[in-house]
């Protein structure tokens, strides 16, 4: 697997199939002479293999893209950590605010979707060497890739198995995690696993959120049609989304706000226009974007009324500028 971006749980799966009297078929890129491969590179030994299939290149992709990327495997190292600079839109506002939570040498998990943008901000702000970004597939360090290559990392420091990564996560090995949100209710519960008749599933969301000291949920305030503008450092809601995310009761509890509050976890809910903290009573509004009217743009777009902090403040003005923020850790 020397040209793979992740080894995931392939060995554990093969062992389980073997021990259950199943058949293990492995797909390879090339055939090699017996004994010519460094044994430290062998992930699945022949003791659990029944059939070997040599695949043509178009059927042996590294990710969902046809091009092989040596920066994903460590075969080559980029002299500069490449990243895609995000346009200044609602997604960048959210991840910029979220990035303000980063601390030096923190071990961090990034979820799929908007949280992927943390990697872009880390690259733009020159923070990649000061934090340890991880993804659940097993990559540690480097800059996690986004989109159809999510699960891989550019210039990873280590590639471990999926089960080993979760052994670390379950044991409290994460300092902070940035995850998406689809629905939030007054108790701080989050749903990302079931929306109407659409069953998405929990994935590793529960494992990650249960064992992490500082959890940051990232998502737009409303969805389906939301359009924003930024003028003179102020946020303008040009068109409100058709559907609300902050509702009375989530359809399914993927993350329990009450349980997190009892455990004393630090939990934030970051949107493009507002930031909430979790306390024992539920959500507390602590920050609003410059230019936002609290009643019109926040409270009237929620199915419940959150508590409002007595020290309510504006979100950092640097978030709403075209130039880098100049973050330092």
Please write the tens of the pLDDT for every residue from 31-90: 999 989 999 989 999 999 999 999 998 999 999 988 899 999 989 988 766 677 899 999
DSSP 221-289: SEESS-EEEEETTEEEEEE--SEESB-SS-SS-SB-HHHHHHHT-EEEEE-SSEEEEEETTEEEEEEE-
pLDDT at 80: 66
Look up tokens 């993350």; give the residue.
255
Look up tokens 């359009």; give the residue.
227
Structure tokens at 97: 């605010």
DSSP 61-107: -SSSSSS--GGGTTSS--SS---PPPPSSHHHHHHHHHHTT--TT-E
Look up tokens 């997190």; give the residue.
260
pLDDT at 279: 96
Q: Is the dihedral of CA 85, 73, 63, 8 positive or negative?
A: negative
Ordered by where they begin, the domains of the chain are: 10-72 (no CATH), 90-320 (3.40.1080.10)
Catalytic residue set: 136
Q: Is the dihedral of CA 89, 92, 98, 99 positive or negative?
A: negative
CA distance 135 to 139: 6
Look up tokens 């073997």; give the residue.
18
DSSP 104-164: TT-EEEE-SSGGGHHHHHHHHTT-TTTSEEE-TTSEESSEE--GGGBTBEES-SEE--HHH
**Per-residue pLDDT tens digits of the chain, which is 329 residues long:** 889 999 999 999 999 999 999 999 999 999 999 989 999 989 999 999 999 999 998 999 999 988 899 999 989 988 766 677 899 999 999 999 999 999 999 999 999 899 999 999 999 999 988 999 999 999 999 989 888 898 999 999 999 999 999 999 999 999 999 999 999 999 999 999 999 999 999 999 999 999 899 999 999 999 999 999 999 999 999 999 999 999 999 999 999 999 999 999 999 999 999 999 999 999 999 999 999 999 999 999 999 999 999 999 999 999 999 999 999 98
How far is the CA of 24 from the CAs of 20, 27, 69, 162, in angstroms?
Answer: 11, 10, 27, 19
Residue 216 host element (H or E): strand 214-218
pLDDT at 84: 77
How far is the CA of 93 from the CAs of 214, 218, 231, in angstroms?
Answer: 20, 10, 14
Residue 309 host element (H or E): strand 307-314
What phi and psi values does residue 162 have, to the nearest 5 degrees?
-55, -50
Structure tokens at 306: 């959150």
Q: Is the dihedral of CA 209, 215, 221, 226 positive or negative?
A: negative
Maximum pairwise Cα distance, the chain: 71
Of the candidates 316, 305, 296, 303, which has an alpha carbon nearest to the alpha carbon of residue 236? 296
Residue 307 host element (H or E): strand 307-314
Of the candidates 153, 209, 207, which has an alpha carbon nearest to the alpha carbon of residue 181? 209
pLDDT at 82: 66
CA atoms within 13 A on the CB side of 62: 19
CA distance 269 to 215: 9
């Amino acid at each position: 697997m020397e040209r793979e971006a992740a080894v995931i749980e392939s060995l554990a799966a093969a062992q389980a199939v073997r021990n259950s009297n199943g058949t293990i078929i492995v797909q390879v890129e090339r055939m090699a002479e017996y004994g010519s491969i460094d044994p430290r590179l062998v992930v699945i030994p022949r003791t659990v293999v029944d059939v070997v299939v040599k695949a043509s290149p178009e059927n042996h992709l590294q990710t969902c893209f046809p091009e092989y990327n040596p920066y994903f495997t460590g075969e080559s190292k980029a002299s500069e950590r490449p990243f895609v600079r995000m346009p200044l839109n609602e997604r960048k506002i959210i991840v910029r605010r979220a990035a303000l939570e980063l601390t030096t040498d923190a071990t961090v998990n990034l979820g799929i979707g908007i949280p992927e943008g943390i990697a872009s901000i880390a690259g733009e702000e020159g923070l990649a060497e000061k934090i340890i970004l991880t993804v659940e597939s097993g990559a540690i360090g480097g800059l996690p890739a986004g989109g159809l290559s999510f699960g891989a990392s550019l210039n990873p420091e280590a590639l471990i198995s999926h089960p080993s990564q979760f052994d670390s996560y379950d044991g409290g090995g994460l300092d902070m995690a940035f995850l998406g949100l689809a629905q939030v209710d007054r108790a701080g519960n989050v749903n990302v696993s079931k929306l109407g008749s659409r069953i998405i599933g929990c994935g590793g969301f529960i494992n990650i959120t249960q064992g992490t000291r500082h959890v940051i949920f990232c998502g737009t305030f409303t969805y389906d049609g939301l359009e924003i503008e930024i003028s003179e450092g102020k946020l303008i809601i040009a068109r409100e989304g058709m559907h609300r995310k902050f509702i009375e009761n989530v359809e399914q509890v993927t993350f329990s706000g009450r349980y997190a509050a009892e455990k004393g976890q630090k939990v934030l809910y970051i949107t493009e226009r507002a930031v909430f903290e979790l306390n024992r009573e539920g959500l507390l509004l602590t920050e609003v974007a410059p230019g936002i009217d609290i009643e019109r743009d926040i409270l009237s777009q929620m199915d419940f009324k959150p508590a409002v902090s007595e020290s309510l403040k504006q979100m950092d003005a640097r978030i709403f500028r075209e130039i880098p923020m100049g973050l330092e850790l």
